[in-house]
Every structure is written in structure tokens, then in C-alpha cells.
Amino acid sequence: MIKTKNLSKDYGSLTAVANLNLTIQQGDIFGFIGPNGAGKTTTMRILVTLLEPTHGTAFIDGLDVRKKGKKVRKLVGYMPDFMGVYDDLKVFEYLEFFAAAFAIERKKRKSIVDGVLELTDLQSKRSATVDSLSRGMQQRLGLARVLIHDPKVLILDEPASGLDPRARIEIRELLRELKRMGKTIMISSHILSELEEICDHVGIIEHGRMVFSGTLEEIRPRLGIESKVRVQVANNQDKAVELLSALPQIRQVQVIDDYISVTFGDDQEGDGIIARTLVNGGLDVTFLQPEQLKLDDAFLQLTKGIVH
């Protein structure tokens, strides 16, 4: 649904984006990560036809953003990091204005506005003025605005910026609902723990270059990180360690407090092996969980803090 080929953007001697190649499949939520000044916003603005690339190409649903800009804009809903709003308008007036801007027929506007208000849970604020809304509600209104023309693709630049924890949870749940509706979503954020909960794939960009693109699990081989599982048994921890240490797939067994940390070789999945071995050995397994690679840790290892 989104594809770039050697996408580049220069500002004089400054290169904001350098030969960027990425692919986002239809229906995916793609987390776009990088330090300030890495080139995230520049890339997004090129994708939504607000900037011309210096070199390379970008496509939305197969359409070249440089040659088919008008058609691309009908397919995309873009929410910038700082969204300008018309403070003195009421919520429904604000949305009807943008419905008119997208050439939606007058007789259809009310039902469409009511629909996006329901989706974003803003029905109760329909007649409120925009400046009376909290920051979280204004962000939801921003999402309602980009949904007015029912775009296939949503490109969201820091939609959770400045929100309190409850508002961030509400935005996250809304993004999950939009994914269920079949939307393709590209989202940038500095709140990495939240991205890892909702994203199918992530792309990490630094100094205008993509340093990684894929799933969190695909980051492990890149970083040389081995698979680990934490396990706890009801009794006889020493026997559990002995049984697990004898398995050829296991590289290391460590006791950490009441838990046993089990390290596997490359690309090994250990949950089933561990459970079967311990149960067959007459032990009761009370806890078993793979150790998840945190996006924060991957980000710190893959980047060097380089900014323009």
C-alpha cells in the first residue's frame, strides 16, 4: 500500500532523507521511529504530496505521489504533529468544513460527520467549540477530520504527543479499531512502548537512512540477541535446572531469584520444549513466558543518537 524507492530529500547541502526504501502492506500498522531530525516528518510529507522529493519515488496504492498527487490525496488521511484547528468553530462545523473541502455532497455531510464522531467517541462534543476540548479530545477530533473522506491510508505524525495516559490508551484503541476496518496506518511516535503493542512492523530511521525495517522478532538476529524464556516450577528447582541443562537446544540455564532463565540457540522457540521436559520429569510448571525484546532497547542499540 505504501512503497518508496531510493527516496531522498535535500535542503541545499543538508540531506534530510537519503535513499529510503520501505514497504508497508495493506492493513498493517507501521511504526516509524527515529530521533528528532531523523527525517520522519519529511518522509511523511512527501508521501502525502506536501513536499517534492529530490530523488527517488514514492507510491500510495500503486500511484506515484509526484505524478498522481490529486488521486493520492483522496486515498490518504494525514495528521501532522501539530494540527491547526479553528478554535471558534463548533466540532460539527469544523468537520463539515473539511467535508466540503473534500467535495463531499452537501446532503451526505451530516451522516458522514455523525459517523466519524461516533467512531472517535465525540458525539457528546458535537456542539462544543473546538477550543473547549481537552488535548486528548482535540487529537481525536484530528483523527475524525482525516477520516472524513474514508481514506485507505492514514499517516499520523505523533498522534499521542502531549496526551495523558488515559488519552493515549483511547487513541491506541481507536487505531486498533481502524486497523480492523482495513485501514493501512503509518504512525510515528516517541512512546516506543505503545508502538510495540499495536504495530505489525517498525522502521527505525536515523540521519535520513533506514537502519532497520521489519518485525520486532526480526530485530533479534540483527542485534545478535538470543531467544530466552523465563520459567518457574512449584518445587524442586534444582531438578528443573538439571533437566533443562541436558537439552541440546539450550545454551544456558540461569537461576534468577525464583525464576529460571533459559537461553536458546538462534531461531529456536523454547516454550513447548521446556513445558514438555519439565512436565514429563514430574514437575509442576507455574509460570512460563518468553522474554520479549523491548523496542526501546532495540532502538538504543540500532541508533547512535545522530541528528542533522
Residue 262 within a domain: yes
**CB 51, CB 42: distance < 8 Å:** yes
d(CA 167, CA 54): 38
d(CA 304, CA 274): 37
Which of 220, 237, 267 terminates a domain? The answer is 220
* Least confident segment among 139-148, 164-173, 180-189: 164-173
Residue 298 within a domain: no
User: Pick from 222, 221, 263: which is nearest to 241 by CA?
Assistant: 263
We report the CATH number of the domain holding residue 277 as 3.30.70.100
Residue 306 within a domain: no
Same domain, 51 and 75: yes
- Across 197-302, the runs of DSSP E, i.e. the strands, are 201-206, 209-214, 228-233, 250-256, 259-264, 285-290
Q: Which domain holds residue 268?
A: 226-291
Half-sphere exposure (Cβ direction) of 98: Cα atoms closer than 13 Å: 25
Q: Residues 185, 186, 189, 194: is their CA dihedral positive or negative?
A: positive
Q: What is the mean pLDDT of residues 175-195?
A: 87
d(CA 172, CA 82): 18
Residue 215 within a domain: yes
d(CA 180, CA 177): 5
Predicted pLDDT of residue 35: 81
Query: What are the pLDDT digits (tens) for 70-95?
Result: 999 999 999 987 766 677 899 999 99
Cell numbers found for residue 254: 540461569
How many domains in the chain? 2
Same domain, 85 and 210: yes
Same domain, 234 and 103: no
Residue 201 within a domain: yes
CA 195 distance to own-chain centroid: 5
Which of 158, 187, 220 terminates a domain? The answer is 220
Any idea which residue has 482525516 for its cell? 146
% of residues, the chain, pLDDT over 90: 54
Same domain, 115 and 216: yes
* Between 267 and 37, residue with greater pLDDT: 37
Same domain, 171 and 248: no
Which of 220, 236, 256 terminates a domain? The answer is 220
pLDDT interval class at 15 (50, 70, 90): very high
User: Which three-class secondary structure state does DSSP give residue 80?
Assistant: coil
Predicted pLDDT of residue 307: 45
| Torsion, Cα of 266, 272, 275, 278 (10° steps) | -60
We report the CATH number of the domain holding residue 174 as 3.40.50.300
Over the chain, what is the mean pLDDT? 87
Same domain, 80 and 203: yes
Predicted pLDDT of residue 268: 54
pLDDT greater than 90 at residue 56:
yes
Same domain, 181 and 274: no
* Between 10 and 214, residue with greater pLDDT: 10
Same domain, 94 and 70: yes
Same domain, 98 and 134: yes
Query: What are the pLDDT digits (tens) for 221-232?
Result: 666 556 778 899
pLDDT greater than 60 at residue 266:
no
